[in-house]
Amino acid sequence: LAIRILALRAPMAVDLRLIVAVLKITGDLERIGDYASSIARRAMKVEPLDGALSFGALRSMSRLVQENLNKAIEAMANNDSTRAMEVWNADTAVDELY
């Protein structure tokens, strides 16, 4: 759809930036889904070895990532750059768990 809009409508300035951002975001969301799937598969293999520790940390990280993703989507939908920066800064907590 985005490529069709680009081809048929030739959007300018703000509209073009929005379309390019959405194209990038969709790629990022697909990558996030791929990572989540990979992590789940690996966690199932690790669980018998170190169950409580690995799943506790994974749950905490998962919760933070889900919150950040929801806030990022909300920031995008509301065109809220302040909220987007909050999400960017909150990613440090996820990095620390990693």
Please give the average per-residue pLDDT across 8-30, as a whole number.
85
Domain residues for the domain of 19 are 2-97
Joined tokens for residue 49: 């070895």
* Residue 91, pLDDT above cutoff 90: no
pLDDT interval class at 68 (50, 70, 90): very high
Mean pLDDT (the chain) is 83
pLDDT for position 56: 76
Asked if residue 27 has pLDDT above 70, the reply is yes
Percentage, residues of the chain above pLDDT 70: 91
Q: What's the structural domain count of the chain?
A: 1
Residues near 44 by beta carbon (within 8 Å), at least 6 away in sequence:
none
CA 57 to chain centre: 19
